[in-house]
C-alpha cells in the first residue's frame, strides 16, 4: 500500500498548490494589453483553446520575468508543461477549425520548449527545483545528484522536490524516505502548508512499521486539514487493524487537541509533539 501511494505522488505533483509566488492579477486581456508583456503574450496561442491554461501560463511567466528566482522559474516551467500538453491534446471539430488557429497552436507548441530553455538559463545559483524538472524531462542522473546536493544547501525548497525524493527512495529504504519527510516538516511552518501526499506518507509509513496508533493520528489530521471531513476512519482501524475502540478514541482526542490550537494562520508544526512524528 505504501509503495503504491508513494508512486502516485509523481502523478499528482502537478496538482500541488504550494507556489509561494507573488500574485499577478487582472484578466488575460488586461495583462496582454500591457506593452511590457508583449513577448510573453506573443508566445501563447491566440485561439480559443486551453484558455485557462493559457492564462495561468501567462501569469506565471510574468511573475518569473519580474523576479527570476528558482521557485518562480520552476512554477513557470510547470505551467508551460501543462499548457503545452493541453494544446497538444486539443481536438477542434473540423467544421470550426480555422487554419490560422492551427498555425498559432503549432507555433506555440514549438516555441514553448525554447522559452523553457530560456527560463532554465536565467535561473542560477542553488536550484534543486530546476534540476528536478530537468531530471524528470531527461532522466539524466546528473540532474538528480545536483537536486540532492541542492537540498542540503537550501531550506526554502518546493515540496515537489521532497515528495519525488520520497517516491524514488521509499521502495528501497522506507526509513530513509521518512528522514526526508521529517526534514521537510522541520522546514515547514504550518501543518496546512503540507501537500496531501505528505499526510498520506505518514499514514502509510506507520501502518508499514506496525504503529497503527500514530497512523490513526495522521489520518485524523489528514481528514481534518485535507479532506475537510473530520474523524478517524474507525471502521478501518477497528476492523482491519483490530484497534480497540478506546485507543481509536484516544487518537481522535489527540487530533482534536491539536486542532484546537489552530489559529487563523494554521497549526504550527512545532506544536505537534515530537513523539507523533
| Residue 33 scores a pLDDT above 90 | no
- The structure's pTM equals 0.79
Average pLDDT over residues 150-159: 90
H helices of the chain, where?
2-12, 28-32, 38-43, 51-66, 70-89, 99-122, 128-138, 141-153, 159-169, 174-186, 196-208, 212-222, 234-235, 245-260
> What integer pLDDT is reported at residue 89 of this predicted model?
83
Cα end-to-end distance, the chain, whole Å: 20
| Residue 188 scores a pLDDT above 70 | yes
Query: What is the distance between the alpha carbons of residues 90 and 101, in angstroms, rounded to a whole number?
Result: 12
> What integer pLDDT is reported at residue 65 of this predicted model?
92
> What integer pLDDT is reported at residue 8 of this predicted model?
41
C-alpha cell at 105: 497552436
> What integer pLDDT is reported at residue 235 of this predicted model?
85
Binned at pLDDT 50, 70 and 90, residue 265 comes out as confident
What are 54-110's pLDDT values in tens digits? 999 999 999 999 999 999 999 999 999 999 998 888 755 434 456 666 777 788 888
Binned at pLDDT 50, 70 and 90, residue 13 comes out as very low
Average of per-residue pLDDT values in the chain = 84
DSSP 166-227: HHHHTTT-HHHHHHHHHHHHHT-SBGGGS-HHHHHHHHHHHHHTT-HHHHHHHHHHHIIIII
Higher pLDDT, 47 or 113: 113
C-alpha cell at 97: 477549425
Binned at pLDDT 50, 70 and 90, residue 263 comes out as confident
- Strand partners of residue 268: 190
Query: What is the distance between the alpha carbons of residues 177 and 172, in angstroms, rounded to a whole number?
Result: 9
> What integer pLDDT is reported at residue 99 of this predicted model?
65
Higher pLDDT, 25 or 145: 145
68 in Cβ contact with 130 (< 8 Å): no
Compute CA distances 109 → 46, 50, 114, 115, 237, whole Å.
Answer: 12, 12, 10, 10, 49
> What integer pLDDT is reported at residue 121 of this predicted model?
94
> What integer pLDDT is reported at residue 227 of this predicted model?
86
Amino acid at each position: 500500500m505504501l509503495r503504491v501511494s508513494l508512486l502516485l505522488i509523481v502523478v499528482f505533483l502537478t496538482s500541488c498548490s504550494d507556489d509561494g509566488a507573488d500574485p499577478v492579477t487582472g484578466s488575460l486581456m488586461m495583462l496582454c494589453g500591457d506593452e511590457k508583456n508583449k513577448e510573453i503574450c506573443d508566445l501563447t496561442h491566440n485561439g480559443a483553446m486551453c484558455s485557462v491554461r493559457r492564462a495561468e501560463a501567462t501569469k506565471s511567466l510574468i511573475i518569473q520575468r519580474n523576479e527570476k528566482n528558482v521557485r518562480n522559474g520552476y512554477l513557470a516551467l510547470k505551467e508551460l508543461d501543462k499548457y503545452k500538453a493541453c494544446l497538444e491534446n486539443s481536438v477542434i471539430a473540423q467544421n470550426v477549425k480555422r487554419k490560422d488557429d492551427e498555425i498559432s497552436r503549432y507555433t506555440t507548441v514549438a516555441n514553448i520548449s525554447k522559452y523553457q530553455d530560456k527560463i532554465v538559463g536565467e535561473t542560477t545559483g542553488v536550484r534543486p527545483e530546476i534540476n528536478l524538472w530537468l531530471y524528470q524531462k531527461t532522466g539524466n542522473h546528473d540532474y538528480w545528484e545536483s537536486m540532492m546536493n541542492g537540498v542540503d544547501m537550501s531550506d526554502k525548497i518546493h515540496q515537489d522536490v521532497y515528495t519525488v525524493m520520497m517516491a524514488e527512495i521509499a521502495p528501497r529504504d522506507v526509513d530513509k524516505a521518512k528522514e526526508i519527510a521529517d526534514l521537510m516538516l522541520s522546514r515547514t511552518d504550518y501543518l496546512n502548508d503540507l501537500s496531501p501526499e505528505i499526510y498520506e506518507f505518514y499514514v502509510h509509513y506507520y501502518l508499514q512499521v506496525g504503529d497503527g496508533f500514530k497512523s490513526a493520528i495522521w489520518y485524523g489530521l489528514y481528514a481534518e486539514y485535507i479532506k475537510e471531513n473530520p474523524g478517524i476512519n474507525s471502521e478501518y482501524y477497528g476492523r482491519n487493524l483490530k484497534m480497540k475502540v478506546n485507543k481509536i478514541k484516544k487518537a481522535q482526542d489527540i487530533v482534536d487537541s491539536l486542532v484546537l490550537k489552530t489559529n487563523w494562520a494554521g497549526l504550527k508544526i512545532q506544536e505537534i509533539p515530537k513523539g507523533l512524528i
